[in-house]
């Protein structure tokens, strides 16, 4: 094997490894984008849930205040 053949083989190997590295980086980037999308969906779901819980708490608080007002007016 001549020196030129050896250089050509090494350059080809380097090129192939770089292509594999770029493909792995692309997969990692896609995975990261998917993770960000999933996290945003989770945050949106949590916001909706917290809004619903807040509304329920507000309704219960109003009911307690109305009942307290009723009890104080009729039994005090």
Query: Mapped to the 3 state alphabet, what secondary structure does 45-59 carry?
Result: HHHHHHHHHHHHHHH
> What are 32-76's pLDDT values in tens digits?
999 999 999 999 999 999 999 999 999 999 999 999 999 999 987
Is residue 1 over pLDDT 70? no
Read off the pLDDT band of 25 (50, 70, 90): very high
Q: What is the pLDDT of residue 2?
A: 86
């Amino acid at each position: 094997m001549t020196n030129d053949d050896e250089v050509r083989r090494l350059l080809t190997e380097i090129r192939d490894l770089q292509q594999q590295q770029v493909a792995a980086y692309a997969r990692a980037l896609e995975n990261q984008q998917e993770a960000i999308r999933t996290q945003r969906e989770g945050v949106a779901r949590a916001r909706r849930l917290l809004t619903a819980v807040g509304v329920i708490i507000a309704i219960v608080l109003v009911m307690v205040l109305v009942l307290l007002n009723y009890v104080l007016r009729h039994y005090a």
